[in-house]
Amino acid sequence: MAKINKLNIFIAILIGITLFALFKYIRIYQERRIILEELNRKEKEIINLNKIKEELIQKVSEKERVILEKENIEKELSKELNAKEERLTKMKELLDKAQQDIEELKQKIDTLEAHNAELIKEKDQLQEKLDKVNQQYNSLLARFQSIGELKKAISELKRKIYLEKRQKIKEKDRVLEGNRGYIIKDGVTTLQPKVKIKVIPVE
């Protein structure tokens, strides 16, 4: 009887140990399953994170490429802008030079126009003188058509020359009288060369 009780106790202990081990195994299995599920979930998260990382890397690379292209475009635009500014400066210098040349040409044109106006005025004056000379020539030609008129004209010309000479002599005498006998006045000699006048009678 005592052996049966001991056996039962031993069996009970074995059953208890087995149940404990079973429960322990079940608990460990459940914990392992939970851990594996958590691990799988973490792996999926890591995979997703890697995908996101790759996408971000691609986006960053794309942004860097865009930034690099933008910088290159900005450099090209800056070069073009500098070239255009240089051309604009040269064009402005050429424009200023052309404007200066235009002003100089305008002044020359104004001077030429003024000179041309003077030449036209002189031409008109010469034309008037020429017309007067032609009139005098025509008048003399009409007068010289007869011998009598010719002699009369010669006589008038001689008389005119004679009167002009007398007038010059009177002016010289008046100068000598005004000098009060001084031979040199104000550094200039007052003596005048003698003039011999020959009177030709009118025929």
- Alpha-carbon distance of 119 to 110, in angstroms, equals 14
Worst-scoring range by mean pLDDT, 10-14, 82-86, 103-107? Answer: 10-14
- pTM for the full predicted model: 0.34
Q: Are 199 and 151 in contact (CB under 8 A)?
A: no
Cα–Cα distance between 104 and 106 in angstroms, integer? 5
pLDDT digits (tens, 9 = 90+) for 31-83: 888 888 888 888 898 999 999 989 999 988 888 988 999 889 989 999 988 99
